[in-house]
Chain A
Amino acid sequence: MQTRRSFIQKTAATTAFVGLGGFSLSSFNKPNDKHITILHTNDVHSQIEPLPHNHYKYPGLGGFARRATLVDTIRKQNPNTLLLDAGDIFQGTPYFNYFGGELEFKLMSMLGYDVATLGNHDFDNGIDGFVTQLPNASFDFVSANYDFSNTVLQEKVKPYKIIIKNGIKIGVFGLGVELEGLVSKRLYKETKYLNPVEIAQDITRELKEIEKCDLVICLSHIGYYYKNNPDKVSDLILARNTKDIDLIIGGHTHTLLPKPTIEKNSIGENVLINQCGKSGVYMGKVDFYFSKDGSKTAKGKSIIV
C-alpha cells in the first residue's frame, strides 16, 4: 500500500510532467468510456458442486451453477466481459475420475468461458485424455511455452488468442509449469516445456508491436511465488522480467491474494498479478477503463492506489 506521502509525490510528479506534455488528464470514469471486464478462475479442480458443508475452510462455497449466475449478472452490467481460466480444470472430485473432464468442459462452455490455459493436472488422463474431451469445450486453450508440435495437441492449442471487444484489442497468451517431475512423461508425452520468461518476452513483443493489442493478458499456471525456492520461475519473476503485460492471471500455487499484487516490470511500469485460491470459491474481476479519445498513446504511466 502506498503511503499518502508517496501518493502526493507521485501526483506532483505527474502534474509536472503533464505540464510539459501540454494536455490534460482525466481519471474519471466518463459514461462514454470503453470498459472491459475480465473475470477469471484458476485451479477449479473439478469442483462441479459447491464444496461439502463439512469442508475445513470453505464449507458450502463455490459451484458452477452459482458461478453461472454471477457471470450472467456481470455480463448484463457489461457485455464487454471476458471469462478466463488459468488451468487445473481437472482433478479433485470423483466427477473427473468417472467422467474424465467431460462435465467440466461442458459447464465451462455453458458459462461462456472465452480462453483457458492448461495446468499440470489437465494432463492427468494423459494428453490423449485431454484431447478426447476437447470437443466438449466451445472455448479455446492457449499455451505459448508448451511446444505441442509432436503431439495430438498440435494446432489445437495456440500460443495466444486475440479478442476484440468494443473496439479494444485484447491479446491473451498462456504459460504452463514445468511438467518434468510433476507429471509422468507417459502422460505428457512429447510436450516440450520452454522457458516461460523468454517465451513471454517474444509473445508480448508480437502482441504489442505487431498485433497492436490494447491489452495484454497472461494466463499463467507457473505459480505465484516459491518462498522456499525464490529463484524458481513464478509470476513475480515473470512480471519483473517482461514488459507490455497488463495483467497476469495466475494459478498452480492455489494462492488467494487478498488483493492483486502490483509489480514493476523490466522498464519500471506496473503489472497487475491476480490469483484467487482454488476450487472456484472465488472469482477474480478486473475492470479496465479506456478513454474514448483515440489520439493519445501511453508512454509513461503512474498508478495511484
Chain B
Amino acid sequence: MKKYAFLLCFTLLFLSACKKETPAQLYKIEAKQIITDSTTKEKQSVTDVINPYKKQLNEQLDAVLCYTSSDLTRTDGALESSLGNLMADICFEQATPVLNKQINKSADFVLFNYGGIRAPIAKGNITARNAFEVMPFENELVLVELTGSKVEELLNYLAVNKKAHPVANITLQIKDNQYYNVHISNKTFDATKNYFILTSDYLQEGGDKMSFFKNPVSLHKTSYKIRTALIDYFKKTDSITPKLDNRFTYAN
C-alpha cells in the first residue's frame, strides 16, 4: 500500500464545561489519500466476479460488424476527412427514420466538430470497440432549427475556424475567412429561410464555442446516441468505402 502526497494530522481540542448527554469526545482527525496502484495485489474473489463480465464484454466489443478497405482518419483531407464524412453521413442516414417517426421532420444538413472524433479506425474489421474509441462520450443527436442569419453565423464559424468539422448534406467552399457556394440538400443556401441542423447535444449547448446553436428557433432531442448510430450502421453494412468528396474545401 503506497500512501500519497499528504498526511494531514490535526488535533481538535474541545474546551467545554461538563454536560452529561454526549458520550464521546472527538479530539483528533487524520486524513490522507491512498493511491490504488500495482503495488496492491488484486483480491482474487473480486477478480473472479469481474472475469465473466469482462469476457462477455470483450466478445461483444470485438465482434466483427463490418469491414473498411482503408484507414479511416480525421486528418486525411484539408477541410474534410474520411472518418468525419463517414460519421456525419451515418448520423444523417440513421437519424432520418428516427426524426421522421418522432416529429415527422428531417434534417437539412449535419454539423459536428473535428475535436469530437476521438480515434481513427484502422483498415480491416470494424467492431463496436471502434465505435467506443471514436465516440467515447454519451453525446446524443439533436435537431436544431436555426434562422438563416444564425446559419450565416454557422458558415462564418466554419470559414474562420478552418478545421475539418464533419458535415453532411451540405457543400461549401471557404477562402480568406469567407464562405462561398453553399448548397444545402443540393439547393443554394437561402438566408431568409430557417434550416434544421442535426448535431450533438454537446455542441448545441455551446460546445467548441458553437454559440450559434444557443437559443434556437426550436430544438428536438432524439435521445439517439451518436455511438449507437455508428454501431447500428456498422451492423447493417458489410463494407465501408472511405471517401473524400470535396463537400467542404478551400475555394481556388
Cβ of B5 under 8 Å from chain A: yes
| Closest A residue, CB atoms, query B38 | A60
- Would you call A259 and B31 a contact (CB within 8 A)? yes
- Would you call B16 and A21 a contact (CB within 8 A)? yes
CA distance A134 to B28 in the complex (A): 36
- Would you call B57 and A25 a contact (CB within 8 A)? no
User: A14 and B15 in contact (CB under 8 A), knowing A282-B35, A293-B25?
Assistant: yes
| CB within 8 Å of B: which A130-151 residues | none
- Would you call B13 and A27 a contact (CB within 8 A)? yes
User: A297 and B21 in contact (CB under 8 A), knowing A17-B15, A21-B15, A94-B61?
Assistant: yes
CA distance A90 to B73 in the complex (A): 30
Shortest Cβ distance from A41 into chain B, in angstroms?
A: 9
Cβ of B22 under 8 Å from chain A: yes
Cβ of A289 under 8 Å from chain B: yes
- Would you call A61 and B15 a contact (CB within 8 A)? no
User: A21 and B17 in contact (CB under 8 A), knowing A67-B36, A301-B12, A303-B12?
Assistant: yes
Cβ of A198 under 8 Å from chain B: no
| Closest A residue, CB atoms, query B3 | A285
| Closest B residue, CB atoms, query A34 | B24
User: A287 and B18 in contact (CB under 8 A), knowing A64-B50, A66-B42, A124-B138?
Assistant: no
* Binary contact readout A19-57 vs B (1 if CB under 8 angstroms, 0 otherwise): 001000111010001100000000000001110000000
CA distance A215 to B29 in the complex (A): 12
Cβ of A210 under 8 Å from chain B: no
User: A283 and B5 in contact (CB under 8 A), knowing A48-B50, A49-B54, A302-B13?
Assistant: no
Shortest Cβ distance from A248 into chain B, in angstroms?
A: 12
Choose, from A98-106, A172-180, A218-226, A230-238, the stretch at the interface: A98-106
- Would you call B20 and A295 a contact (CB within 8 A)? yes
- Would you call B5 and A258 a contact (CB within 8 A)? yes
Tally of A-B Cβ pairs under 8 angstroms: 209
User: A29 and B24 in contact (CB under 8 A), knowing A17-B15, A259-B6, A301-B14?
Assistant: no
| Closest B residue, CB atoms, query A294 | B23
* Binary contact readout A254-284 vs B (1 if CB under 8 angstroms, 0 otherwise): 0011111010000000101010100011111
Cβ of B32 under 8 Å from chain A: yes
Contacts of B11 in A (CB 8 A): 27, 303-304
- Of the residues A50, A98, A256, A305, contact of B57 by C-beta under 8 Å: A98
- Would you call B14 and A298 a contact (CB within 8 A)? yes
Contacts of B54 in A (CB 8 A): 48-49
CA distance A66 to B40 in the complex (A): 6
- Would you call B15 and A70 a contact (CB within 8 A)? no
- Would you call B46 and A272 a contact (CB within 8 A)? no
- Would you call B38 and A107 a contact (CB within 8 A)? no
Cβ of A214 under 8 Å from chain B: yes
- Would you call B42 and A286 a contact (CB within 8 A)? no
CA distance A290 to B94 in the complex (A): 62
Contacts of A49 in B (CB 8 A): 50, 54
Cβ of B177 under 8 Å from chain A: no
Cβ of B241 under 8 Å from chain A: no
- Would you call A303 and B10 a contact (CB within 8 A)? yes
Cβ of B43 under 8 Å from chain A: yes
- Would you call A300 and B31 a contact (CB within 8 A)? no
- Would you call B49 and A61 a contact (CB within 8 A)? no
Q: Which of B16, B33, B44, B57 counts the most chain A CB atoms within 10 A?
A: B33
Cβ of B209 under 8 Å from chain A: no
- Would you call A95 and B57 a contact (CB within 8 A)? yes
- Would you call A286 and B57 a contact (CB within 8 A)? no
Contacts of A257 in B (CB 8 A): 33
- Of the residues B8, B13, B22, B35, contact of A297 by C-beta under 8 Å: B22
- Would you call B26 and A246 a contact (CB within 8 A)? yes
Cβ of B69 under 8 Å from chain A: no
Binding site for B on A (CB under 8 A): 14, 17-18, 21, 25-27, 29, 33-34, 48-50, 60-70, 72-73, 91, 94-95, 97-99, 103, 106-107, 110-111, 124, 167-168, 184, 186, 212, 214-215, 246, 256-260, 262, 270, 272, 274, 276, 280-305
Can you name 18 A-B pairs with beta carbons within 8 Å? A50-B36, A63-B42, A65-B44, A66-B43, A68-B46, A69-B41, A94-B132, A110-B46, A110-B49, A124-B138, A276-B33, A281-B35, A282-B33, A287-B28, A289-B28, A289-B29, A290-B24, A303-B12
